């Protein structure tokens, strides 16, 4: 028996399977697909798992209502298999304050994936509506899942974590295509390329057509790699003159960070670590013009603690500024207690004066606020940060002026996972500063995924990324995604580096998601046209399963 015949047998078995076995296969395909993401980056596994998705949808054609409900259920099981192992690390956050939140861990680890899987179910259902019996069904699946992933990234404030397009974030030459079509375009290409081998088992008139689609997909990967290699060669890493960075990674335990009694201990650690010599020729913080501390750096309101501000002023030499995360109290009448706060970034000069402030816009549901906050609090619930009333969202994203460097685009924590989160449209920033605290998620795959997604924003926009994280990964990334310097997960230390120079605006930076929308629209148009053209008369229409029968 030839390998082609064996492949056909496997495909037929998947197409014809039903019941709980179909659910198991879909979940297994989802779980294996997680290996394509950071830190594993084993993206060739998708050449195995995505064809299985095509065959599973092929088999739903025998179901009622054109197979749409069966396809949706299949998509739901695939999503559950994908999101549970991909997001298991969320459970770590509920053990930071275990006495209060540990009992919620199963609900978080299973509940969030159960919600996100609704979107993959929508994608599969839409694909079934567009399904054909030839290779056009690959485009139908790519377009449908891209639409579903876009919805996942926007509905109810959005959560586009681990979008399928991140599978092509490594190797770096492949990632460069994001500078043209953004993350949603990369998602479309990822599904189309890796699902293409499914058509190898289709019957074709000349016996050769089936090979052309996967061959074209491999050729597209090669073209992407060549484009990426050329782009990397055309943009060697260059540095901003006179801008010297020092990133401080304290690796503090999460429970110490929101405890006011730890104020003196936290400040002592930050100050000492920031001024630590990094080598025989180092003079500590005096080597830097920009010192950067991570998100929510203090368990207190920084600017309301005169002694802390004085210690910062004493630390910073003339010509050096501090960029730091901190919770910020709103402006209130004298004597009124502070009940809510902003999650903010400060730029502080060497004399202790505040030069600029940015308030986080995109707050984390259940972490920084609760949906239906008042009602949930009356029922006894609270978000992980335990700030009654939740954090206050900022009102506008704007660039931060930084003395001695170009203006910076501020992104706090998971704001960096949202494609298109671009501020200062009237003034292009010179770099992205991303302050985060991944200490909530321990030593797990979560911080690596977070880092990889932040790096893709640099590639998309042609802007260098400077990422300061409490427990890591802290890094300096150039505008095409090369790592200039990094400090690994779970390490205490400092990272000295120069600031890379931005490159001219990318196509994605200029036009946003228009190219991705055009790809999706064209694929939908082709699928609809093909489906209408191939539809037999109602009186003799066969049961539609796949092009192999």
Residue 354, both tokens: 């505040």
Q: What was the pLDDT predicted at 281? A: 80
* Mean pLDDT, residues 173-201 taken together: 97
Contact 109, 90 (CB under 8 A): yes
> Which one-letter DSSP state was computed for residue 109?
H
pLDDT band at 423 (very low <50, low <70, confident <90, very high): very low
* Mean pLDDT, residues 105-123 taken together: 95
Q: CA-to-CA distance for 140 and 192, rounded, in angstroms?
A: 9
CA distances (Å), 414 to each of 27, 161, 216, 451, 457, in order?
Answer: 27, 9, 36, 10, 12
Contact 291, 349 (CB under 8 A): no
Q: What was the pLDDT predicted at 371? A: 74
* Mean pLDDT, residues 451-459 taken together: 97
**b/e sequence 43-66, b meaning 16+ C-beta within 10 Å:** bebbbebbbbbbbbbbbbbebeee
Q: CA-to-CA distance for 200 and 530, rounded, in angstroms?
A: 19
Give strand ranges (E) for 361-482.
408-412, 431-436, 465-469, 474-477
* Mean pLDDT, residues 37-43 taken together: 97
Contact 160, 419 (CB under 8 A): yes
Percent of the chain with pLDDT over 90: 73
Residue 264, both tokens: 């003196």
Question: What is the value of pTM for the model shown?
Answer: 0.93
* Mean pLDDT, residues 460-476 taken together: 97
pLDDT band at 424 (very low <50, low <70, confident <90, very high): very low
What is the Rg, in whole angstroms, of the alpha carbon atoms belonging to the chain? 25
Please indicate whether residue 311 is annotated as part of the active site.
no
Please indicate whether residue 295 is annotated as part of the active site.
yes
Over residues 234-284, the pLDDT tens digits come to 999 999 999 999 999 999 877 644 567 778 888 999 999 999 998 888 889
- 168: pLDDT strictly greater than 90: yes
Going by C-beta distance under 8 Å and a sequence separation of 6 or more, which residues neighbour residue 44? none
Single out the residue of 269, 270, 264, 263 nearest to residue 291, CA to CA: 270
- 349: pLDDT strictly greater than 60: yes
Average confidence score pLDDT of the chain = 91
Over residues 119-155, the pLDDT tens digits come to 999 999 999 999 998 999 999 999 999 999 999 999 9
Which is catalytic among the residues 133, 244, 360, 382? 360
Q: What was the pLDDT predicted at 549? A: 45
Please give the helix or strand (H or E) that residue 308 lies within, else none: helix 306-315
Which is catalytic among the residues 368, 382, 413, 460? 413
Over residues 368-401, the pLDDT tens digits come to 887 777 676 666 677 666 666 678 999 988 999 9
């Amino acid at each position: 028996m030839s390998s082609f015949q064996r492949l056909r047998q496997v495909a037929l078995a998947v197409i014809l399977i039903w019941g709980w076995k179909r659910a198991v296969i879909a979940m297994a395909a989802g779980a294996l697909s997680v290996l394509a993401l950071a830190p594993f980056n084993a993206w060739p596994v998708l050449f195995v798992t995505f064809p299985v998705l095509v065959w599973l949808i092929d088999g739903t054609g025998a179901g009622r209502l054109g197979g749409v409900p069966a396809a949706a259920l299949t998509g739901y099981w695939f999503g559950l298999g994908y999101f549970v192992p991909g997001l298991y690390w969320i459970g770590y956050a509920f053990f930071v304050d275990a006495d209060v939140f540990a009992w919620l861990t199963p609900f978080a680890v299973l509940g969030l994936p159960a919600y996100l899987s609704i979107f993959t179910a929508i994608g599969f259902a839409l694909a079934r509506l567009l399904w054909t019996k030839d290779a056009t069904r690959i485009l139908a699946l790519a377009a449908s899942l891209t639409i579903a992933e876009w919805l996942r990234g926007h509905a109810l404030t959005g959560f586009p974590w681990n979008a399928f397009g991140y599978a092509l974030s490594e190797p770096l030459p492949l990632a460069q295509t994001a500078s043209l079509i953004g993350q949603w375009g990369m998602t479309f290409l990822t599904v189309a390329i890796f699902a293409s081998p499914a058509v190898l088992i289709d019957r074709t008139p000349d016996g050769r057509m089936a090979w052309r689609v996967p061959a074209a997909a491999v050729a597209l990967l090669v073209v992407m790699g060549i484009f990426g290699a050329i782009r990397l060669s055309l943009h060697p890493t260059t540095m901003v003159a006179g801008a010297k960075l020092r990133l401080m990674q304290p690796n503090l335990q999460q429970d110490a960070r929101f405890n006011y009694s730890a104020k003196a201990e936290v400040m002592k650690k930050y100050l000492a670590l920031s001024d630590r010599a990094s080598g025989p020729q180092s003079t500590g913080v005096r080597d830097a013009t920009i010192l950067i501390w991570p998100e929510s750096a203090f368990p207190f309101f920084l600017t309301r603690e005169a002694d802390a501000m004085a210690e910062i002023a004493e630390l910073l030499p003339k010509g050096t500024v501090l960029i730091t995360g901190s919770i910020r109290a709103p402006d209130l009448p004298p004597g009124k207690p502070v009940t809510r706060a902003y999650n903010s970034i400060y730029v502080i000069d060497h004399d202790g004066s505040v030069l600029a402030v940015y308030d986080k816009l995109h707050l984390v549901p259940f972490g920084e606020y609760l949906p239906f906050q008042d009602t949930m609090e009356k029922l006894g619930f609270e978000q992980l940060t335990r700030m009654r009333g939740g954090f206050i969202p900022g009102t506008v994203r704007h660039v931060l002026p930084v003395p001695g460097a170009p203006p910076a685009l501020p992104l706090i924590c998971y704001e960096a996972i949202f494609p298109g989160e671009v501020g200062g449209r009237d003034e292009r920033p010179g770099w992205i500063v991303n302050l985060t605290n991944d200490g909530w998620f321990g030593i797990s795959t979560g911080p690596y995924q977070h880092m990889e997604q932040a790096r893709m924003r640099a590639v998309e926009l042609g802007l260098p990324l400077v990422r300061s994280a409490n427990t890591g990964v802290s890094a300096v990334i150039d505008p095409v995604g090369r790592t200039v310097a990094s400090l690994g997960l779970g390490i205490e230390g400092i990272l000295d580096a120069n600031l890379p120079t931005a490159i001219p605006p990318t196509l994605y930076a200029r036009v946003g998601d228009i190219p991705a929308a055009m790809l999706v629209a064209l694929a939908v148009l082709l699928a609809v046209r093909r489906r209408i053209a191939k539809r037999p008369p109602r009186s003799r229409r066969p049961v539609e399963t796949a092009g192999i029968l």
